[in-house]
Amino acid sequence: MSELRDLYQEVILDHNRHPRNFGELAEANREADGFNPLCGDKIKVHLVVDEDDRIADIRFEGSGCAISTASASVMTETLKGKTVDEARALFHTFHDLVTGKTEGDLGELGKLAVFAGVAEFPVRVKCATLCWHTTNAALEESADAVSTE
């Protein structure tokens, strides 16, 4: 059970039950869809990027497992107010974290550190990163929906 508890930390269960920044964003100027065909997870990320390249607002919609929903929820909290470059850097940091490539202090990751347990469950990495890939695509203004496969 201990690895399961590491994966399903209270923060993750809470964000799954009560996702933050969930819903549409009428004034969004960047959007992208993400899909995991293996498990059917779907996500849509809406962003408002201001003239200083800063994420002024971000919301998400969709349905997915606890890891996917909580990851999207925590991501939106983390990215709000960050610049596009900072968001991209965080994506790399987060990806390293959930694939077990992060060593040492997790302090700088803030709340994202609760996803460290995902590294013990390789098949769940895609659940945790779908929202980040989708946000990345929105920031790149890519027209294609993101697929994990």
Partner 1 sequence: MAAATSPTSTKLDVEAVRRDFPILQREVYDRPLVYLDNAASTQKPRAVIDAVATFYETTNANIHRGVHRLSQEATDQFEDAREAMRDFLGATKVEEIVFTRGTTEGINLVAMSYGRANVGAGDEILITHMEHHSNIVPWQLLCEQTGAQLVVAPINDDGEIDMDAFASLVSERTKIVSVGHVSNALGTINPIAEIGRLAHEVGAVLVVDGAQGCPHGAVDVQALGADFYACSGHKMYGPTGVGVLYGRHDLLEAMPPYQGGGEMIRTVTFEKSTYAPSPAKFEAGTPNIAGGVGLGAAARYLQSIGLEAIERHEAELLAYGTERLAEVDGLRMVGTARRKAGVMGFVMDCAHPHDIGTILDREAVAVRTGHHCAQPVMDRFGVPATSRASLGIYNTREEIDALVDALQQVREVFGG
What mask of x and - would describe binding to partner 1 in positions 46 to 65, judged by CB under 8 A?
-----------------xxx
Report the amino acid identity of residue 146: V
Q: Which of 29, 116, 121, 145 binds partner 1 (CB under 8 A)?
A: 121
Q: Which of 39, 48, 56, 106 binds partner 1 (CB under 8 A)?
A: 39
Closest separation between CB of residue 66 and partner 1, Å? 5
66 binds partner 1 (CB under 8 A): yes
How many Å apart are CA 96 and CA 144, to the nearest integer? 25
Q: Which of 15, 30, 42, 133 binds partner 1 (CB under 8 A)?
A: 42
Q: How many C-beta atoms lie closer than 10 Å to residue 26's C-beta?
A: 7
Task: List the end-to-end C-alpha distance of the chain, in Å, as a whole number.
Answer: 30
- Stated as kind and residue range, the H or E segment containing 135 is helix 125-140
